[in-house]
Structure 1
Amino acid sequence: MPPEQAETKKPSRAASGAFERGVAALAQYKARTGSVGPISRSHVEVLPDGTEVKLGVFLSNTKSRRAKLTADKLQQLADLGLEWAA
């Protein structure tokens, strides 16, 4: 059973990590441009560690799934200036 539990937890950590990378990319984009939009769906933001984040896809997917986001995640996005997350 422990291996199954590890497999069950792995996607949630990956999803959380993906969300955190998306937030980091959005914060970096905002710091560089002074705003959070509009961002084209094809925009890719490269984080300082070299990780490429498909920021436009992240925002599109996150917005369409916002009803499933926790209040904490919505607050992180709202704090960066996304009106639809407030």
Structure 2
Amino acid sequence: MAQYKDREGHLKVARAHTETVVVEDQEHTVKLGVFLSNTKSRRGKLAADKLQQLANLGLDWAT
């Protein structure tokens, strides 16, 4: 998510957007839009520390 925000300057991610990330020299495709949509709809079940991490990235719905 931080990679997307650094590149695009915002976190208004389309639901169909996929992001390629590199972890330990391996590329992985992440369905970022689906992740954010699902997380937002289930935010009531998230732990406070997870919500705070999302808020720190700039997601206003996580506050």
Query: When the two structures are superposed, what TM-score results if normalisation uses the length of structure 2?
Result: 0.90
- Return the structure number with greater helix share: 1
Aligned residue among 27, 43, 49 for 2:2 = 27
> What CA distance in whole angstroms lies between the structure 1 residues aligned with 2:43 and 2:5?
20
Shift of 1:48: 1.9
Query: When the two structures are superposed, what TM-score results if normalisation uses the length of structure 1?
Result: 0.67
- Aligned residue for 1:51, secondary structure, equals strand
Paired amino acid for 2:18: V
- Aligned residue for 1:32, secondary structure, equals helix
State the structure with more CA Rg.
Answer: 1
Aligned residue among 36, 56, 69 for 2:33 = 56
* Structure 2 residue runs without a partner (length 5+): none
The sequence identity of aligned pairs, in percent, is 63
> What CA distance in whole angstroms lies between the structure 1 residues aligned with 2:14 and 2:34?
8
Q: Deviation above 4 Å: which 4+ runs of structure 1?
A: none
Cα root mean square deviation, aligned: 0.7
Shift of 1:77: 0.5
- Aligned residue for 2:22, secondary structure, equals coil
Shift of 1:84: 0.3
1:83 aligns with 2:60: yes
Q: How many residues align?
A: 60
